Amino acid sequence: MFSPFFKANAQWNESAWKNEQFDQLLLLARAETDDARRGTLYADRQTLVHDHCGIGVPVFICERNPERQFGAVQEAVLR
């Protein structure tokens, strides 16, 4: 999951973060056959992202506003 967003030349690297060590760890981890060693390499990549890469995750808030959505909606008035 890290590759599409953090690899130096990744299409979705919207933060424009480039780290040679991260890219090298990616290649090493993909080639590693020992599960424990591969896990360590991926953990090292995650630490690099955590410590050195700034990224914002957009949050979209959907507001319920029927008048704007449908137009000409009257509010109910309690009397």
Q: What is the pLDDT of residues 16-32, one digit of tens each?
A: 889 999 999 999 999 99
Q: Rounded to an integer, what distance in angstroms lies between the CA atom of residue 35 and that of residue 29?
A: 10
As a whole number of angstroms, the distance between CA 43 and CA 37 comes to 10
Query: Does 55 map to a domain?
Result: yes
Q: What is the pLDDT of residue 79?
A: 63
Q: What is the pLDDT of residue 5?
A: 80
Residues 6+ apart with CB under 8 A from 21: 48
Task: Read off the tokens for 35.
Answer: 């599960």
Once rounded to an integer, what is the mean pLDDT over residues 30-55?
Answer: 92
How far is residue 20's CA from residue 16's CA, in Å, rounded to a whole number?
13
Q: Is pLDDT of 68 > 70? A: no
Look up the domain containing 62 and give its range: 3-70
Residue 78 belongs to a domain: no
Residue among 9, 10, 18 at smallest CA distance from 52: 18
pLDDT of residue 60: 64
Is there a domain that residue 75 lies in? no
Per the model's pLDDT, the better-predicted residue between 75 and 50 turns out to be 50
In a domain, 79, yes or no: no
